[in-house]
Amino acid sequence: MPSSQIADNPEELWAAVDSYLDKLLLSPDPLLQQALDASNAAGLPAISVSPLQGKLLQIMAQAQSARRILEIGALGGYSTIHLARALPTGGRLITLELEPRHAEVALANIARAGLSHAVTLRLGPALDYLLQLQAERRASFNFEPFDMVFLDADKPGYPHYLAAFLPLCRPGTLILADNVIREGKVIDASSSDPNVQGVREFLQMLADDPRLSSAAVQSVGSKGYDGFSISRVLSL
């Protein structure tokens, strides 16, 4: 259908463009589709990254030559699979998930994709585990910092997660945070939505921290109107 025929419905146009780009740029991937199908069958919320966004994560991890990746928010493991596929031999990904049912589905999807050897899933509050990792880093000269962090969890927690995982990074670490535009609501300082306020505080922390160089990108597509931030650690 010509885009002019659906221009009056922006969301329909965004989805149509996503479909076009999916078919043009992405090869059929039964394992990824099975991961989505299993998540849907288990009743998980349909909030995984889109196929194009997942491939973007994979390409960015590869460009970063990431050997150690931290993901906060596994959900059904769809983004986890993309990130883990970017790892070189011997690389490791740690993904943190609070919900037992989500973790169960994610582990099954990761195993089906043949990536269990590269992925460790930690079940429980992310902050608890991040503080544990901080203690490990202080106690050991052999602690390997993360080369890349993907944050896609509860938005009120974003500021706390940033403060907790930043000491686990290194100069050059890449930090991506999803869903920071909130359909444009991020500009509303008076919003009573804790998700909006959590993202606003997180973005302000990025802006105020001289150790970080940050940008943010708005996005539209099959997932609607949102966007992500991207930061590079300059120093610790």
In the chain, domain spans: 3-233
Tell me, what DSSP letter sits at residue 210? Answer: T
Beta bridge pairs of residue 120: 94
Q: Of 2-16, 166-180, 187-201, give the lowest mean pLDDT range.
A: 2-16
The residue written with tokens 């940050």 in the block is 214
Please tell me the predicted confidence (pLDDT) of residue 9: 85
Distance between CA atoms of residues 31 and 7, nearest Å: 34
Helix (H) or strand (E) holding 216: strand 212-221
Q: Identify the CA nearest to 26 among candidates 52, 50, 49, 48.
A: 52
- Residue 2: pLDDT band (50, 70, 90) is low
146, pLDDT greater than 70: yes
Mean pLDDT computed over every residue of the chain: 95
In the numeric block, which tokens belong to residue 126?
């992310």
CB-based contact 172:67 (threshold 8 Å): no
Tell me how far the alpha carbon of residue 175 is from its chain's centroid.
9
Q: Which CATH number fits domain 3-233: 3.10.180.10, 3.40.50.150, 3.40.50.300, 3.40.50.720?
A: 3.40.50.150
Helices (H), ranges, the chain: 10-25, 30-41, 51-63, 78-85, 100-112, 126-139, 158-165, 194-208
| Predicted pLDDT at 104 | 98
Q: Please check the confidence at residue 15 and state whether its pLDDT lies above 70.
A: yes
Q: Comparing C-alpha atoms, which of 203, 210, 211, 213 is closest to residue 178? A: 203
- Least Cα distance to 226 among 32, 77, 20, 11 occurs for 11
Q: What is the pTM of this model?
A: 0.94
